[in-house]
Amino acid sequence: MSDSEQKNQSWGGRFTEPTDAFVERFTASVGFDYRFYNQDINGSIAHATMLAKVGVLSDQELTAITDGLEAVRADIEAGNFQWSVSLEDVHMNIEAALTERIGIAGKKLHTGRSRNDQVATDIRLYLRDQIDLIAKELARLQTGLLDLAEREADTIMPGFTHLQSAQPVTFGHHLLAWFEMLKRDASRLQDCRTRMNQSPLGAAALAGTTYPIDRAMTAELLGFDKPTENSLDSVSDRDFAIEFTAFASILMTHLSRASEELILWTSAQFGFIDLPDRFCTGSSIMPQKKNPDVPELVRGKTGRVNGHLVSLLTLMKSQPLAYNKDNQEDKEPLFDTVDTVMDCLRAFADMIPAIQARKENMYESARRGFSTATDLADYLVRKGTPFRDAHEVVGKSVAYGIKTGKDLSEMTLEELQQFSNTIEQDVFDVLTLEGSVAARNHIGGTAPDQVRAAVQRARAELKN
């Protein structure tokens, strides 16, 4: 018989005819779940080791199973393994290959477990491994941000609200705002890892098993903190996948916000930064173009990841306990989320340290838009003027500046004094951009000394 004519040996005894070829293809998951073959083999070795300890398998059977599984792993990694749709998934493909290699001992491996707890274990192991890789790439991006922030601690640029010039800040301070977003993302990622690091292995189909298994042993062998507490929840829970994708959606939203700013800053209208050519592309018709494709793609891929979060939430919303075939649909959105996040983090981690600030353009832009108006108001308040009166004085000063084409720092003392006799020569200490940023000299402020101190604190946190 061909593959499509055979009954699936994992459950075919109940059936009197082979699965329809379309249904076989429609229900199979091996086309995508093969990617956690390593985790499946590791879980099977741990399970077999436990079965031997409790007397279900002999030592000879354990050796045969372990050696056989390692041989299957070697074949997969060498590209010599033939995945079969008729065997549905990664689990049955590996088990069938094992049984073909070692005979009847291979059929004993599944004692005391079900594909329900097997896949729940595999996907946790896979996601745990991916979280650790993502955490490293996220830390690499954070390190790059800190290095750039330290380099640009004195670089003055306009700070915006409503995308209107508001107050001068330093470029280093702005970059540290991105760092704070990523720091929260890293914390969320570790919280997700902690909650998911419990072993469902041994929950079997839904009710546990009658065999004398040792779930604490398999949990320890696989690096889990402990076994899960309830067999029904163990096989049906996908909270960890939803939580990871929620983390990914927030992270991608942060990267998208940063991407939007990079895109604006590279434009001729802003001209704040240059991105190296290797992170940009050109136009097929306009030879002058240098398009910021990397940040644009990251911005676009955010919608993709957000969609995966909605997909997983919708997948789970009406499922009764315990396992349902619906849960096969959890893997593709999860896998794509992992891949997308890793690619976007890599792109950003490579790109951020290579950013070149166009300091003169930033400074000139900060001089426009009366960005030191708040400093003038604060100056008047320190001189005893009530804030509301100071606000009115500054408003009139700005109106005069618009009429005459002068920034506040470009006005003479006499021009400023026509709006308030409280203003004296020392006002120019706060109306300069340098004076404005230097005055914000407290934790969280934009003063260059504070930026450098914040970078040092952040580096110490990253080491821990």
Of 445, 424, 409, 393, nearest in space to 169 by CA = 445
If phi over 0 gives left and psi between -120 and 50 gives alpha, with beta otherwise, what is residue 228?
beta
What are the φ/ψ torsions at residue 357 (nearest 5 degrees)? -80, 135
What are the φ/ψ torsions at residue 326 (nearest 5 degrees)? -50, -35
Q: Are the C-beta atoms of residues 123 and 241 closer than 8 Å to each other?
A: yes
Angle at 142 between CA 139 and CA 145, to 5 degrees: 155
Distance separating alpha carbons of residues 255 and 160, to the nearest angstrom = 18
**449 C-beta neighbours (distance < 10 Å), count:** 12
Distance separating alpha carbons of residues 146 and 152, to the nearest angstrom = 10
Of 9, 7, 3, nearest in space to 18 by CA = 7
Distance separating alpha carbons of residues 102 and 234, to the nearest angstrom = 31
Instruction: Select which of 47, 58, 162, 259 is catalytic.
Output: 162
Residue given tokens 């065997």 in the structure block: 87
Is residue 110 part of the annotated active site? The answer reads no
Distance separating alpha carbons of residues 28 and 376, to the nearest angstrom = 69
Is residue 162 part of the annotated active site? The answer reads yes
Q: Are the C-beta atoms of residues 365 and 272 closer than 8 Å to each other?
A: yes
Instruction: Select which of 58, 187, 267, 283 is catalytic.
Output: 283
Task: List, by residue number, the catalytic residues.
Answer: 162, 283
